[in-house]
Amino acid sequence: MKKSDFYYDLPQELIAQHPAQQRDHSRLMCLGRESGTIQHRHFYDLVDLLQPGDLLVMNDSRVLPARLYGHKEATGGAMQFLLLEQKGLNRWEVMVRPGHKAKVGARFVFGEGKLTAEILDILEGGNRLVEFYYEGNFYDLLEEIGKMPLPPYITEALEDNERYQTVYSREVGSSAAPTAGLHFTPELLEQLREKGVGTAFVTLHVGLGTFRPVKAENIEEHRMHTEHFVLPEETARRICETKQQGGRVIAVGTTSCRTLESVATFAGGIQPYEGNTNIFIYPGYEFKVLDGLITNFHLPESTLIMLVSAFAGYDSVMHAYRVAVEEKYRFFSFGDAMLIL
């Protein structure tokens, strides 16, 4: 298939710039996986739409407030760092802006001196290897002075960093939120548990590569970025029990989906597993685990809309996206959601 097959026309005003006032009051399009039928509901209606014995598999990764604003120690010139990957105890690969100021040996100051950094090396592609100096706990310091690395299509400032975290986030390490989970509230999760809907967790640390555009016109030539994941023993056990008892395994988000399908592919079935994945799911892929998917509305020509099309059928998904535009659903990270069953 071609990249252009996954294009749809999206008015700029439908790109959500801020979260819904109440997480679970976002809209929810329900798409029948076999029938292609569409219903318009709200996210809190999940209590009515799911059944006792269903299992929601969620990504508990927490977003690192990885964007740092500071200045060059010698000149006071403004500098922006974006933390990409930890390379040692206090060493990180970072994206810098402006790059011409970040020569080897240059030092930078953040948070009024609470954090300083020295450029150690210039890496292939232009990123820098940086050593940080500070007192106390690095992650606590990031929570204090760091900003959320919001996607490039969100241009408005985020007033509360927690709105770009799921309410069940706990494993720090993502560069972007697993956004399908942003709609859940503690109250909704409790209502689902009371109904007999189970929850289980995987961890996949979302990299900035999730926003990397597909450049190859023939999508089979695209190479996915690599992300680290963990599927714990308890989650593996609950998935297997759900399947044995006739329940449905429903992934919350494309990251949970990629984790489950990666394990099933690598290990030949669901079992405890930790590793790296660059799995690319597009139409023609045969799903090994999933019975349902909760996801947001994704960018045109992205690997994410390709994954959703693989699960629910290309024609059904592209039609659903056209309907979503007509009905003025909110799109992308802070937008509305879709339930595919």
For residue range 69-91, what is the model confidence (pLDDT) as tens digits?
999 999 999 999 999 888 999 99
Alpha carbon distances (Å) from 301 to 3, 215, 226, 316, 318 = 6, 9, 19, 16, 11
Does 286 score more than 80 pLDDT?
yes
Mean pLDDT, rounded, for 107-125: 96
pLDDT for residue 125: 84
Does 214 score more than 90 pLDDT?
yes
227-231/67-72 β-pairing: unpaired
Does 182 score more than 90 pLDDT?
yes
> Average pLDDT over the chain, rounded to whole?
95
Q: Are 320 and 37 within 8 A, CB to CB?
A: no
pLDDT for residue 36: 96
- How is residue 170 written in tokens? 């706990």
pLDDT for residue 163: 95
Element (H, E) at 286: none
pLDDT for residue 112: 94
Distance, CA of 35 to CA of 100 (rounded, Å): 55
Mean pLDDT, rounded, for 307-322: 98
Return the half-sphere exposure (C-beta side, CA atoms, 13 A cut-off) of residue 90: 15
Does 289 score more than 80 pLDDT?
yes
For residue range 19-48, what is the model confidence (pLDDT) as tens digits?
999 999 999 999 999 999 999 999 999 999
Element (H, E) at 136: none
Look up the pTM and report it: 0.91
